[in-house]
Amino acid sequence: DGGITQSPKYLFRKEGQNVTLSCEQNLNHDAMYWYRQDPGQGLRLIYYSQIVNDFQKGDIAEGYSVSREKKESFPLTVTSAQKNPTAFYLCASSINGPQHFGDGTRLSIL
Amino acid sequence: GENVEQHPSTLSVQEGDSAVIKCTYSDSASNYFPWYKQELGKGPQLIIDIRSNVGEKKDQRIAVTLNKTAKHFSLHITETQPEDSAVYFCAAVYGGSQGNLIFGKGTKLSVKP
């Protein structure tokens, strides 16, 4: 089946640790996105990439990093500089149209 | 900056009644408006969208209306069922790009049997 796969579903971060969230899509979409979702805040854009080897900061990029080495993959690293990382992280992809979302990764602090 | 306001934040209806969720946007250049449904622990799923060259679009029990002059758009769900219970998000494209969306803060819809 075509779709977007996010892993892991749950992730725990220790103090000072970087963690990486995986996002893979087999929809052949050019653009990919990372959002953070907090209760009552809706979805806020962290980073996006329109093509391979290129990405742009969104509204809340501080403390996060991304790479786009392959069209299918857009991993997100939550660095130790992100002081409030507890949230639900959503990855999406699109091609000249609506964004399609994965089922998210819930990140918590140990 | 660009903004999308969504109301109400919570909505409770009886099964069989209609539900209406309203959004306003600030970027007059926005030309694409999707609506998403998010169930607990899942990612948002696109349920309907509308482009600025039409004023209304319908898909079975779901319809969306757009008023470009007033910069607002609404989601209408008729004959609501318990499985319609979820959080609904509106969104508007901004910056002239088809894919860059700004989202409303969501409406939690509860349909009581």
Question: Does the beta carbon of B3 lie under 8 angstroms from any beta carbon of chain A?
Answer: no
| Interface probe, candidates B9, B90, B101, chain A, greatest A C-beta count within 10 A | B101
Give pLDDT, residue B96.
Answer: 61
The reply to whether omega before A8 is within 30° of 0 (cis) is: yes
Query: How large is the average pLDDT for residues A13-36?
Result: 94
Residue written as token pair 């319609």 = B84
User: Does the distance separating the beta carbons of B106 and A94 come in below 8 Å?
Assistant: no
Lowest mean pLDDT among A94-108, B2-16, B94-108: B94-108
Q: Does residue B97 surpass a pLDDT of 60?
A: no
Reported as a single tens digit per residue, the pLDDT across B41-60 is 899 999 999 988 889 999 99
Region A7-14 average pLDDT: 93
Peptide bond into A85 cis (omega under 30): no
Q: Output the average pLDDT for chain A.
A: 93
Look at residue B99 and tell me whether its pLDDT is greater than 70: no
- Using a CB-CB cut-off of 8 Å, the residues of chain B touching A94 are 98-99
- From A44, A50, A98, residue closest to B46, measured CB to CB: A98
* Residues A109 and A19: beta-carbon distance below 8 Å: no
| Structure tokens given for A94 | 């699109």
Per-residue tokens: A101: 């979302």
Cβ within 8 Å, pair B99-A96? yes
Residue B16 confidence class, pLDDT cut points 50, 70, 90: very high
Which of A4, A43, A97 is facing B103, going by the closest CB pair?
Answer: A43
pLDDT at B27: 87
Q: What percent of chain B has pLDDT over 90?
A: 80
CB neighbours of residue B64 within 10 Å: 24
Nearest residue of chain B to residue A4 (CA atoms): B43
| Mean pLDDT of chain B, nearest integer | 93
Please determine, for residue A1, whether its predicted confidence score (pLDDT) is greater than 70.
no
- Chain A contact present for B51, CB below 8 A: no
Q: Is the peptide bond before A75 cis (omega within 30 degrees of 0)?
A: no
* List of residues 6+ apart from B18 with CB closer than 8 A: B76, B77, B78, B79, B80
How high is the pLDDT of residue A75? 98
Mean pLDDT of B101-105: 92
| Residue range A66-75: mean pLDDT, rounded | 98
Q: Which of residues 5-24 of B touch A (CB under 8 A)?
A: 6, 9
What number is the average pLDDT over the span A30-35?
Answer: 96
